[in-house]
Amino acid sequence: MKLILDTDANTLTLDEAGQSRTLSLYSKEAFEAISRHWVRLGWNQKYQYTFSWMGRPVIQLPEDMIRMQEVIFQVKPDVIIETGVAHGGSLIFYSSLCNAMDKGRVIGIDIEIRPHNRAAIEAHPLNDRITLIEGSSTAPNIVAQVRALVKPGETVLVILDSNHTYAHVHDELVAYAGLVTPGSYIVATDGIMFDLADVPRGTPGWTTDNPTFAARDFAAKHPEFVIEQPAWPFNESALDQNITHWPGAWLKRL
């Protein structure tokens, strides 16, 4: 696709497969088109690797974290389960929200929790709401450990942010979807991979090997779940599309 941005004429021209159309530069449609390519460029420049939360790196697009905050405040889960720990910033983020609401705790699972990351998480003032489990998120013994930490009647939200292959995400969905409370979500993050296959840091196979497709196919086989982007609690604009690394990620349990 070719984008021609003309700030003198205030137009954005999109040329794709020989079809050309011109938009007002300050229109909703132009914003969405530019945002898509901003996300692609930002991902390739590792923009998401420039943020932290209360001292720990958070490798996420800030909008996704704010949207997650909106959902956590709405659902008010007793337990937030996240696969994938990395530096622990997202665990600290979720713990800080639980602390602010005076409700909830966080379980973080990773196949390898590096000693310096574990030490930093365990030394953090918000660690009292965090439980770390080391092992493969899809291993039966690890899934059993997580299940044992959830008490009957608790509200549960699950975030999948470990290995982002189709097969692994699908296996995680099968393993953890049963813990999700009606009205809550299991979130298959980073499905934007399907739109990054052709950028310099991308991989061609991502066009089909990605979390978004895994979530789509899981939902097709499990009618108790629907892919539904949570509504924005506040919106005084004409916009209605997220700028996200997580398209098609939100599986809501009915």
Q: What is the pLDDT of residues 29-44, one digit of tens each?
A: 999 999 999 999 999 9
Q: CA-CA distance, 73 to 182, in Å (whole number)?
A: 16
Domain range enclosing 15 = 2-44
Verify that 60 and 174 share a domain, yes or no. Answer: yes
User: Are 16 and 10 contacting, i.e. CB atoms less than 8 angstroms apart?
Assistant: no
User: Are 58 and 245 contacting, i.e. CB atoms less than 8 angstroms apart?
Assistant: no
What percentage of residues in the chain have a pLDDT greater than 70?
100
Q: CA-CA distance, 107 to 91, in Å (whole number)?
A: 8
Using pLDDT thresholds of 50, 70 and 90, give the confidence band for residue 148: very high
Using pLDDT thresholds of 50, 70 and 90, give the confidence band for residue 17: confident
Among candidate residues 158, 122, 128, the one with its CA nearest the CA of residue 143 = 158
Q: What is the pLDDT of residue 18?
A: 85
Verify that 16 and 114 share a domain, yes or no. Answer: no
Q: What is the pLDDT of residues 125-135, one digit of tens each?
A: 999 999 999 99
Q: What is the pLDDT of residue 115?
A: 98
Q: What is the pTM of this model?
A: 0.97
Q: What is the pLDDT of residue 168?
A: 98
Domain of 74: which CATH number? 3.40.50.150
- In the block, tokens 């599309």 appear at 241
Amino acid in the structure at residue 84: G
Q: What is the pLDDT of residues 43-60, one digit of tens each?
A: 999 999 999 999 999 999
**Cα Rg of the chain, angstroms:** 19
Verify that 6 and 22 share a domain, yes or no. Answer: yes
Q: CA-CA distance, 107 to 145, in Å (whole number)?
A: 10
